[in-house]
Amino acid sequence: MSLELPALPFAKDALAPHMSAETLDFHHGKHHNAYVTKGNELLADAGLSADNLEDLVKEAKKTGGALFNNVGQHYNHSFFWSCLSPNGGGAPTGDIAARIDADFGSYDDFKKEFVAGGVGQFGSGWVWLAADGGKLKIVKTANADTPLTDGMTPILVCDVWEHAYYLDFQNRRPDFLGSFLDNLVNWDFANENLAKA
């Protein structure tokens, strides 16, 4: 299978002022697109067989190196775009709200742990909410890594690579993570993923 840059599920300026069209131009149009282009070059000679992107990520992880870096980054970024919504943010609704209360104590406690996880991810990477053995937990990953390859079900993610926030927040990663949860996070998508866990 080959990789394809997904269209954003919202207009490029729909997330402003929390995430600018300029950020999305660079992040989606240049960074993500580069992973798709390079990933397809590497896949042409890799001989991997997969029916869907999740399986391709797992197969590429076994190979490692540049192939996994590009396929994994494509998966992570594609997942991230669905975690954003112009009508998102604030306290969760639906089944995810009850699960967050059960596994973290309260939404406020979850929010503190999620932001701390993102701030504590040294260098480039991601902070995830993932389902692991029937329990939700915060998972930090570096570079192209994803909870998917460790047998977990990703529920939502925030990108903490500098290109995700630097044009809008400069070096204020905690403010970006807080804004993601307050203004952008797509709880409907999280609920869809929770139903699969």
Per 3-state DSSP, the chain is made up of helix, strand and coil in percentages (nearest 5) of 55, 15, 30
Same-domain status, 99 and 192: yes
| pLDDT digit string, tens, across residues 59-96 | 999 999 999 999 999 999 999 999 999 999 999 999 99
Q: Which of 85, 82, 197, 67 is nearest to 144 (CA)?
A: 67
Structure tokens at 5: 């840059």
Same-domain status, 189 and 136: yes
pLDDT at 49: 85
Residue 164 has pLDDT above 90, yes or no: no
Same-domain status, 74 and 102: no
Q: Using 50, 70 and 90 to split pLDDT, how confident is the model at 168?
A: confident
Task: Cis check for the bond before 17: say yes or no (omega within 30 of 0).
Answer: yes
Same-domain status, 189 and 102: yes
Assess if residue 28 is contained within a domain: yes
| pLDDT digit string, tens, across residues 151-161 | 999 999 999 98
Which H helix or E strand runs over 132? Answer: strand 125-132
Assess if residue 35 is contained within a domain: yes
Given a contact cutoff of 8 angstroms between Cβ atoms, the answer to whether 106 and 87 are in contact is: no
| pLDDT digit string, tens, across residues 93-113 | 999 999 999 999 999 999 999
What's the CA gap between 97 and 107, in Å, rounded?
A: 8
- Number of structural domains (the chain) is 2
What is the residue range of 165's domain? 95-196
Same-domain status, 165 and 105: yes
Same-domain status, 33 and 63: yes
Across the chain, mean pLDDT equals 95
Q: What are phi and psi of 156, to 5 degrees?
A: -160, 165
Same-domain status, 37 and 122: no
Could you tell me how far CA 187 lies from the centroid of its own chain?
A: 13
What's the CA gap between 187 and 185, in Å, rounded?
A: 6
Which pairing describes strands 153-159 and 125-132: parallel, antiparallel, or unpaired? Answer: antiparallel
pLDDT at 161: 86
Q: Using 50, 70 and 90 to split pLDDT, how confident is the model at 122?
A: confident
What's the CA gap between 125 and 163, in Å, rounded?
A: 11
Domain of residue 27, CATH code: 1.10.287.990
What's the CA gap between 58 and 81, in Å, rounded?
A: 20
Assess if residue 11 is contained within a domain: no
Residue 162 has pLDDT above 90, yes or no: no
Residue 33 has pLDDT above 90, yes or no: yes
